[in-house]
Chains A and B, each alone.
Chain A
Amino acid sequence: MSIAVPTGGAVAAPPPPEPEPLAANYLNNGYSIWSWLFTVDHKRIGILYLVSISVFFALGGLFAALVRTNLLSPTGAILSEDAYNRAFTAHGVLMLFFFLIPAVPGVFGNFFIPMMIGAKDLAFPKLNLASWYVFMIGGACAGWAVLVGGIDTGWTLYPPYSSRASQAAVVPGVLGAFISGFSSIMTGLNIMVTIHKMRAPGMTWGRLPLFAWALYATSLIQLLATPVVAITLVLLMAERMMGIGIFDPSIGGDPVLFQHLFWFYSHPAVYIMILPGMGVVSEILTCFSRKNIFGYTAVAWSSAGIAVVGFLLWAHHMFVAGISFYAAMLFSLLSMLVAVPSAIKMFNWTATLYRGSITFHAPMLLSIGFLVLFTIGGLTGLFLATLGTDIHLHDTYFVVAHFHFVMVGGMVLAYMAAVHFWWPKMTGRMYSDFWSRLASVVIIIGFFFTFIPQFVAGYYGMPRRYPNYPAELQWLNVMSTAGSSVLGLGYLMPAIYLPLSFFTGRRAPANPWSATGLEWQTPSPPHVFNFETTPVVVCGPYEYSLGVDQQGRTLPPPPNETNAEPDAQKEAHGG
């Protein structure tokens, strides 16, 4: 990548003066509820998403707590079988469609993509607001389904059970997921067009932050995969409501066709969930080790590679569903291919730490936790992609543990890392350094103890979605539930200290982490239109070793090891 600044290290020029805290920023630009609900400012929309997905996360977590508590006893501790089935379905639907898929694109994609590329907003601000409303309508539908007793089909909705046998409110739940899919498409479309057409002068593709590459790849998947599940859900609703039996064996239909169509989306969907998190990790690891990313091109292209190859793997969820031997062979082989770009990223991230200068603030702790936990999740995926082992491990707790490792140990951790990294920019406040580091550790440890026992249980053959299980596996379930209480505690902590930062946190400088991205070149919180003048980009992201940001200006001193505010900045703020 090219660079127009003389090499010479961080002492070449003094850093530019700290921008004055703005009298008018995006947060105080109107306080009424209408100024929020009718905003077209991408930053406010990001905050709207932040609030709503936090609510869905809490709800989904509540159902998870019900599930884990019930599993304390081999015959169900607190719920009937029916209630348990509805609980795990609600947990899955809420967490997947209403938290994991919209989280990073909806909150941080909306907020920071325009800022990272030097634009004033996303390409279609009104579409952006519409996407949030569509999301909320979908959430309301799904919420309605939960309120009238829930659905009990599992989030995977396989017919004939979901189209015929289930007595639950399947259609409202499916409708909720269907509607929220449109929100996903809108966000993806918006982000892609923005990255294509609205980059600031000098911001070439090769100088894009990896977060932007990751979100671009995510948006590609959102755009192309979501419509397929949309039509699949329409067909399911048609069969359930009107008897149009496309999956009905009695008129020649095939329930396995549903599985193909469903997984054609739902497998790429897991990459929608994880790719943004990988982008976040790239941003944070570089900043807190003060080093360039190792292998920028490899990491950028591996995101694109995962997005593309991820479309070719769907039937690895169906190895024992009655597909042909040759189909199984093909999908297993392709599934092995997608593991390679993920491995490449892992190695590149690890190499980024080499000869760095590392501090362990909360974003960094969470990102390292991501590296640790996502590795396990990714490697256990290999057992499932391998045909011979999948026969035994399919539909057991091994699968449950695998996907929780990648989605919670991976994605939720990355989401938390993003929140902690960008909180000062979004709110203009710093949170407690001590409590955030403690919470990160608690989350990682709690997570570990929740899900490692589940690998063992699955290896022993404990099936998923079982409220009743063999008594000899109880000790594993108890350990898992104990771990989940610790995990829950860990999530509770940021729910306290983050809002508290509005009252007790000190004001954040423009660039508390001394990061290179364009979004840090604005005051915290940013101006309504992001930049006073359009920035001009002269070098790639992550030039930490040279001590310059993307506009070629010297970076402020980085935060020191023990707290987040370096002495120089402390003095500038008067303590």
Chain B
Amino acid sequence: MNSFDYWLPFFPERASTLANHFEALFWYIAITSGTVWLGVYAAIFYFCVRYRRSVSPGPTPRILGSHKLELAWTIVPLFVFLSYFGWGLVVYNYAVHPPEDSMEVFVIGKQWMWKAQYPDGHRVIIGGNPRNMSENERNSIGKLVLPIHRPTRVTITSEDVIHDFGIPAFRSKMDALPGRYTTAWYMPTKLGEYHIFCDQYCGTWHSLMVGKVKVVTGEEFDQWLAGHAPLQGTENAVDGSPASAGQQLFLKLQCINCHSANAQGRAPVLEGLYGQRVPLRGGGGEIADDHYIMESIRRPRAKVADGWEAIMPAYDESQVSAEQLNQLVAYIRSLKKGTTPVSNQRFPAPNGAPTERTTPKASGGGN
């Protein structure tokens, strides 16, 4: 069902819970300020008519002001504006705090298309100008399919310049920044297809970086998702993102050999590790954040996870540059339950890399 006919209804489509919040707030502001506005117009109009020169030749009274009036029309507008602020804050708070159980979709903006990846790894290109795309990309142009009445959180980033992922029918938008992640979330309330726009000027085809979101029933969505096999080797990491580069490294450096999906293997499973508290050998614990992961790669002996042997070798700047380190972190961040890749024989180990062994190479000096 196409929500846009040529003849627009008076109100634009509302297709999410946020849209309903928006409309209530918008019309509150419009009506309250509109009333004052019309009142001022009425006063101006009346004064211009009633006191025009021909009926009010003067001399005019020497009126300098009125403290009472000044106070009144300072305090009252201030409180009205504060009410706008307060209600606006409530709506904004709603808009920027996704519920815990949201489905997470990664959205990457790049000149001039959007790439979305679902939790099972299924990828789709949303909109964009077909003239800008490779053959593969053109064949996978689709829509952002979302289930109705279920919350979805989008984690957005950009590969190049600043973009903005905006869906007017949801009354939502959020900038896509290179090198950072931002989030937005939706609870769709109406079936149909709605526009997606890029809402931050990004170059020549900024206006063609548009697509559609398609809201379907829950069952339809589950079927749709299940009906597509996740593409091999790309679980959870959209091509071009730092996380996907990190996944390549994870395989290439043979991390997968120890950090497999096997909980009885040589090293902890890394799925869902990010953000968890890790108990450490020797007592205490630490939250597995970016710094922890980086340190674990550079100096693994510093903090060993409780219950594991200190056998992980260290990777210095010559083996893993700072940029690659960031990519590995991004990948491990994105690693969700059940998504550890299968060890892939396509990548032979580089010289000097640890392979399947239990003792570290001699690395001179304790950590």
CB-CB under 8 A for A355 and B51, given A10-B59, A256-B177, A383-B29: yes
Asked if residues A386 and B87 are in contact (CB atoms below 8 Å), the reply is: yes
Asked if residues A560 and B87 are in contact (CB atoms below 8 Å), the reply is: no
Cα(A325)–Cα(B29), bound, Å: 22
Cα(A388)–Cα(B25), bound, Å: 8
CB-CB under 8 A for A463 and B199, given A336-B82, A343-B73: yes
Residue from the set A7, A344, A376, A394 with the largest chain B CB neighbour count within 10 Å: A394
Asked if residues B162 and A255 are in contact (CB atoms below 8 Å), the reply is: yes
The stretch among A35-43, A294-302, A424-432 that forms the contact with chain B is A294-302
Asked if residues B162 and A387 are in contact (CB atoms below 8 Å), the reply is: no
For window 212-256 of chain A, which residues contact chain B by CB distance below 8 Å?
A: 249-250, 254-256
- Residues of A in contact, count (CB < 8 Å): 99
Asked if residues B47 and A356 are in contact (CB atoms below 8 Å), the reply is: yes
**Could you say which residues of chain A place their CB within 8 Å of the CB of B18?**
391
Cα(A321)–Cα(B84), bound, Å: 21
CB-CB under 8 A for A375 and B60, given A165-B161, A298-B65, A332-B89: no
B199 and chain A: residue at smallest CB distance: A395
Asked if residues A350 and B168 are in contact (CB atoms below 8 Å), the reply is: no
- Residues of B in contact, count (CB < 8 Å): 89
**Could you say which residues of chain B place their CB within 8 Å of the CB of A348?**
65, 70
Which one, A159, A289, A383, contacts B26 given CB within 8 A?
A383
Residue from the set B54, B92, B93, B205 with the largest chain A CB neighbour count within 10 Å: B92
A380 and chain B: residue at smallest CB distance: B33
CB-CB under 8 A for A356 and B56, given A160-B178, A395-B166: yes
CB-CB under 8 A for A356 and B5, given A158-B200, A461-B12: no
A482 within 8 A of partner (CB): no
**Could you say which residues of chain B place their CB within 8 Å of the CB of A392?**
22, 168, 171-173
**Could you say which residues of chain B place their CB within 8 Å of the CB of A25?**
none
CB-CB under 8 A for A166 and B51, given A10-B59, A544-B60: no
Residue from the set A160, A161, A256, A389 with the largest chain B CB neighbour count within 10 Å: A389
**Which residue numbers of B lie inside 8 Å of A, CB to CB?**
4-6, 8, 12, 18, 21-22, 25-26, 29-30, 33-34, 36-37, 40-41, 43-44, 47-48, 51-54, 56-66, 69-70, 73-74, 77-78, 81-82, 84-85, 87-96, 111, 160-162, 164, 166, 168-169, 171-175, 177-180, 182, 195, 197-208, 323
A-B contact pairs, 8 of them (CB 8 A): A320-B164, A336-B78, A343-B73, A350-B44, A357-B58, A383-B30, A386-B29, A392-B22
**Which residue numbers of A lie inside 8 Å of B, CB to CB?**
1, 7, 9-10, 81-82, 85, 152-154, 156, 158-161, 164-166, 249-250, 254-256, 289-292, 294-298, 319-322, 325, 328-329, 332-333, 336-337, 339-340, 343-344, 346-348, 350-351, 353-360, 368, 371-372, 375-376, 379, 382-383, 385-392, 394-396, 459-461, 463-472, 543-547, 560-561
Q: A355-B56, A386-B87, A467-B207 are in contact. List 19 more A-B contacts (CB 8 A).
A: A7-B62, A81-B205, A164-B161, A294-B65, A295-B70, A325-B96, A347-B69, A348-B65, A350-B47, A357-B51, A372-B44, A379-B34, A386-B84, A389-B22, A389-B26, A389-B29, A460-B12, A463-B199, A472-B4
